[in-house]
Amino acid sequence: MLIGLVVTVAVLGGGGWAVQQAVGNAAANPPDMQKIWIALGAMAAVGLVFGLVTAGRISPLATFVPSLVLLAWTVVYALDMNRALSLIPSEPSVNQIIRDAGFGARTMLTTGVLALIGVALFIPVLMPSRWSRRQDDLDEDYETTPEGSYY
């Protein structure tokens, strides 16, 4: 469950901040290449976390929690756009980094990227092998020997 919360924060916070920085610096004249490289590095880090959780054999809750959050927020956006956008912190009293992450999350929400990521995170939840208990490899290699044998 904790890993799922970390992935949710990484996608919404880190991905949102990186999107805002990349879009803001790409529109600048001339663009600040150092900030664009930092934003691309943050996107790569979020992608690494996303890939490790999606492909790794971690608890199914590690992908279910963020997929539930992202898909629920997308459904709220589809039903009531103003309510979904009001969840994004945009007041001047909020730290600038959090506002940037919020604006980037808004961009991802309105363009459908959060729905895409939510579906991609939900697919591993449907695989039965994620819910089964892991077998201990040492138990399979152990052979019992009859009493009194040399081997």
Give residue 149's pLDDT: 63
pLDDT single digits (tens) 120-135: 999 988 887 777 776 6
Give mean pLDDT, residues 54-61.
84
Query: Which residues touch 69 (CB under 8 Å, ≥6 apart)?
Result: 8, 12, 118
Give residue 135's pLDDT: 66
Q: How far apart (Å, rounded) are the C-alpha atoms in residues 115 and 140? A: 42
Least confident of 29-33, 49-53, 110-114: 29-33
pLDDT single digits (tens) 13-42: 899 999 999 888 877 788 788 888 999 999
Pure H helices in 28-95 = 33-55, 61-79, 81-86
Q: Is the peptide bond before 30 cis (omega within 30 degrees of 0)?
A: yes
